[in-house]
Amino acid sequence: MSEPHNHHSLIDALGAELVPVRRLPPPWRRAAGWLLVVAAIAAVLFAHYGSGGMLQRWAGAPDLAWAGLGAVLTAITAAWTAFALGVPGRSARWAWLPLAPALLWVGASGLGCLRDWIAPGTIVAGPHQPIGCLQFIIAFSVPLSALMIWLLRRACPLRPVLAAVMIGLASAAASASLLEICHEFDAAASDLLTHALAVVLVIGINAAMGGRLLRAR
């Protein structure tokens, strides 16, 4: 006769130790918060470099403008996808969302190599000059990736490696977008290869390290 009483006592004891869990904001809101940090960095760069040089380059070589737009859209869609993958039940097919803007980014960048004129306000990068672009993209991608990993750790994504790849893609695309503000080189093959190397490095490091950090503890 005492067993039901014991069961109720056990349930009451376990319930007393429960701590309320704060519900995570929806993916779009968390992505917007991360993008606000990127926008703040862009505002600082615009304050220092101004927008005249970038607009002059874009007016003289529209492919640079399309590449910049593709990078911005890639950052936005990849950031949203990373946070969406942290929601249980979300399909992994959302990872295809950044594909179209990424193709625009890569395609427009590649078309710039086929031009027979140099974009105004730029120079053709030498064999060693694009190293600065590589350092810029990696330097900005590291804190942006770390911030997104920190924001996603509470969510514990069921596909941590895929979410980490999206984090790397978003961070690299955002860093490439920021580089457009102060980029002084035309879309030469060496510069494009350097950008591609930086993006691959950022995504690879995030997949290796971010995937471990995002796994359920």
Question: How do residues 33-90 score in pLDDT, each as one tens digit?
Answer: 999 999 999 999 999 999 998 998 888 889 889 999 999 999 999 999 999 998 888 8
Domain of residue 90 covers 27-214
Q: What is the pLDDT of residue 178?
A: 96
Is the pLDDT assigned to residue 171 strictly greater than 70?
yes
pLDDT tens-digit series, residues 131-149: 888 899 999 999 999 999 9
Torsion angle in degrees (nearest 10) through CA of 8, 12, 13, 14 = 100
Is the pLDDT assigned to residue 127 strictly greater than 70?
no
2, part of any domain: no
Q: What is the pLDDT of residue 183?
A: 84
pLDDT tens-digit series, residues 23-36: 778 889 999 999 99
- Enter the pTM of the model: 0.84
Mean pLDDT (whole number) for 93-117: 87
Share of the chain above pLDDT 90, in %: 46
Number of domains observed in the structure of the chain:
1
Q: What is the pLDDT of residue 17?
A: 60
Handedness of CA 217, 169, 171, 142 (dihedral sign): positive
158, part of any domain: yes
13, part of any domain: no
Average pLDDT, the chain: 84
Q: What is the pLDDT of residue 6?
A: 62
Pick 79 or 184 by higher pLDDT: 79
Q: What is the pLDDT of residue 1?
A: 44
